[in-house]
Amino acid sequence: MTRVMASGVFDILHPGHLRYLQEAREQGDELVVVVATDATVRRRKHEPITPERMRLELVSALKMVDHAYLGTDGDMFTVVERIRPDIIALGYDQDFDERQIEEALRQRGLEVKVVRLSKHGEDLNGTRKIISKIIDWYTTNRSKVEGG
């Protein structure tokens, strides 16, 4: 059985997330997803819109996901050591070097293949794009929304 691990923020779930997780699932027999903690999201990206427990619940409910866990705030390899995947599937936009991850894991006694998945282009495929579109719409239509 080949266990695949994927990870992400999944702040506002959108089709790009679904395609990423489906492609990750196709890499093996079991898909385990690690959802970033709020602290990690704040440190690496932005203030999360959706709290970590809600994001975890949403990802856990997806049919292609076998198991989902909340990540850790410290050493990112701790969760990998616990899950012990055969493959780590990185999204096209995740800023990690595949070879560096493989080497760091090898030094910890883990032989894990790291693969970079495809970009799935579609309008509004990123959380920040979705947020920008909402802000733009609200700014343009503010008087209608506020009843004036």
Per-residue model confidence as pLDDT tens digits over 8-35: 999 989 888 999 999 999 999 999 999 9
> Under a CB-based contact definition with an 8 Å cutoff, are residues 45 and 93 in contact?
no
Q: What is the pLDDT of residue 22?
A: 96
Give a yes or no: residue 7 inside a domain. Answer: yes
| CA triple 24-50-68, angle to 5 deg | 35
| CATH value at residue 89 | 3.40.50.620
pTM reported for the whole predicted model: 0.85
Using CA atoms, how far apart are residues 67 and 107, in angstroms rounded to an integer? 26
Find the Cα–Cα–Cα–Cα dihedral 47, 53, 58, 60, rounded to 10°.
130
Number of domains the chain is built from: 1
Domain limits at 107? 3-119
Per-residue model confidence as pLDDT tens digits over 46-79: 888 999 999 999 999 999 999 999 999 888 899 9
Per-residue model confidence as pLDDT tens digits over 110-120: 999 999 998 87
Give a yes or no: residue 137 inside a domain. Answer: no
| CA triple 54-57-63, angle to 5 deg | 140
Give a yes or no: residue 134 inside a domain. Answer: no
Using CA atoms, how far apart are residues 118 and 93, in angstroms rounded to an integer? 9
Provide the token pair at 99. 């070879």
Give a yes or no: residue 130 inside a domain. Answer: no
Residue 5 main-chain phi, psi, to 5 deg: -115, 130
Give a yes or no: residue 143 inside a domain. Answer: no
